Amino acid sequence: MNTDGSESTGPDAPANQPLRFRAGFFGNAGRALAIALPLIVVAWALWPEGNGEVPDVENPQHVIIVLVDTTRRDSFGCYGATRPVTPRMDAIAAEGVRFDNAIAQSSWTLPTVTTILTGTYPSIHGAEGKFTGEANTSFHRSRDEIAHGPELLSGHGFKTHGIVNAGFLDPVLGIERGFMVYDYFPSYNWRVRRADKSVDAALEFFQKNQRKNTFTFLHLFDPHLNYDPPGEFREMFSKGYTGPFRTLTGPQIQKLIAEKWTPEVEGRNYLRGEYDAEILFMDREIGRLVDGLRALALYDRTMLIIVADHGEEFWDHGGFEHGHTMYEELIRVALIVKLPSRYEPVRSVVLARVCQVDIMPTVFDVLGLEPPATFDGESLLPVMIDEATPKDRPAYSEGTLYGVDKVAFYQNRYKYILDLGGGDGELYDVIDDPLETDNLAASQPDIALRMRAALEAFRSKLQDRMAQLSPARRVDMQAEQNRQLKDQLEALGYLR
């Protein structure tokens, strides 16, 4: 989508149809051919839905994970935002449970989404990668022996449906595992499937599958670069700006990210305003999803989870975008859970620290299903419905897309960030200093040493487990069958 709302044209414009992949239908070879050959893609997109029939049931259960891509926690009114851009999601939080201290397991999409779908840490599922230059950039699919939640749920009679947008959810990266329908739309930064079309696809699915057990993963990409809110939302918070960022260009994005170019105050405010307007549009469409579920009499039977894969930096620590640090603006994320009506939460806000790795165990617990041994996380259902006071657990995040690898470890009130290249560490008291402005590593050396030791012990256990697993499968970014993925990542500003 161009910034004025018109469609991209020309020989390099992507196809106008989403790519609908049937997981397991032809295996890896079929997926590769579907990506490589446009005619096969079109035929596949028109294929009847489903790998097989899922039976109707008397009291169907529905689970929806709405992934709000690149959405900062402090953009939500229920998390303290001053600009009112999330009224519908705030309303969902008011009738559900808001987790105030949810930690993402990485700062970019591929590892975090795979963590959400597998209930495992990136080291364990293996879906990671690193931008290191044109010839060396590589990404990996998740390991075969790590089950994806949709695979397990389809085995329990759930119709599994993915509606996704953007390069790091490309089927070649393995995210489609277990989805009977994987409705994938390639995104090229200035041309995306917006939230309204994605919600349309979700409501069409529910209209057809009201009497089936369903699991839906709905990915809304709007807040990601490029910031180009549609129609009435354009410049809603940015009127009067006439500077150079009214239409972000590829070279500008490269300068902002790679060269850490900091715009003037007016430019920064304009970019944040357009970003917030994207979130407001997305929020309206999430409200329309809720309204549609109510109209179908499905909402009360639905477990609805709203979670961000990561945040976005607007020069909080001197940088822009995401994938490059482990600071709070990127890895402390929004997490809202609306339970089916048969559950009565005992609290509306959980202050204790939780993680993305806990989401799939929670889904299995709510559905009454036995979790697999591979899950690393813990169900959050007890802290939502039991009177016992929730307690903080340690949290761990790993893997940067750019630059030197960094990891982060939380324990009690402290957070330790370790640079795996140079070995430098940063220590923050995230209770007294939530914006991470005061590095305590030098002034509190005893605490820093204790936190570093705890981090290294946690990481060592993950590495020991990882050594017992098969290697994660590398995706060759130079291979012709992966050209579409490479083109998307270049357009989105990831490959530079």
Query: Tens digit of pLDDT for each residue in 57-80?
Result: 999 999 999 999 999 999 999 999
The pLDDT score that the predictor gives to residue 134 is 57
Is a pLDDT exceeding 90 seen at residue 450? yes
Q: Which residue pairs, CB below 8 angstroms and at least 24 apart, start in 79-83?
A: 79/334, 83/237, 83/276
349 φ, ψ to 5°? -135, 130
Residue 158 CA to residue 179 CA, distance in Å, equals 10
Residue indicated by tokens 């795979």 = 114
The pLDDT score that the predictor gives to residue 252 is 81
Residue indicated by tokens 């329309």 = 288
Instruction: Report pLDDT digits (tens) over 454-495.
Output: 999 999 999 999 999 998 888 866 665 566 666 666 665 555
Residue 317 CA to residue 107 CA, distance in Å, equals 14
Give me the sign of the Cα torsion angle 399, 404, 407, 408: negative
Residue 338 CA to residue 357 CA, distance in Å, equals 18
Is a pLDDT exceeding 50 seen at residue 3? no
What is the mean pLDDT of the segment spanning 128-134? Answer: 74
The pLDDT score that the predictor gives to residue 403 is 83
Crossing angle of helices 483-491 and 27-36, in 10° steps, is: 60
Residue 11's pLDDT band (cuts 50, 70, 90): very low
The pLDDT score that the predictor gives to residue 25 is 34
Q: Which of 56, 70, 49 is nearest to 329 (CA)?
A: 70
pTM: 0.88
Asked whether the beta carbons of 73 and 333 are under 8 A apart, the reply is: yes
Residue 300 CA to residue 338 CA, distance in Å, equals 9
Crossing angle of helices 359-367 and 109-118, in 10° steps, is: 30
Is a pLDDT exceeding 70 seen at residue 148? yes
216 φ, ψ to 5°? -125, 130
The pLDDT score that the predictor gives to residue 495 is 54
In order of their start, the domains of the chain are 52-391 (3.40.720.10)
Asked whether the beta carbons of 212 and 60 are under 8 A apart, the reply is: yes
- What does 5-27 look like in DSSP terms, one character per residue? SPPP-STTPPPSS-EEE-TTSSH
Residue 217 CA to residue 223 CA, distance in Å, equals 17
What is the mean pLDDT of the segment spanning 81-102? Answer: 96
Instruction: Report pLDDT digits (tens) over 207-236.
Output: 999 999 999 999 999 999 888 899 999 889
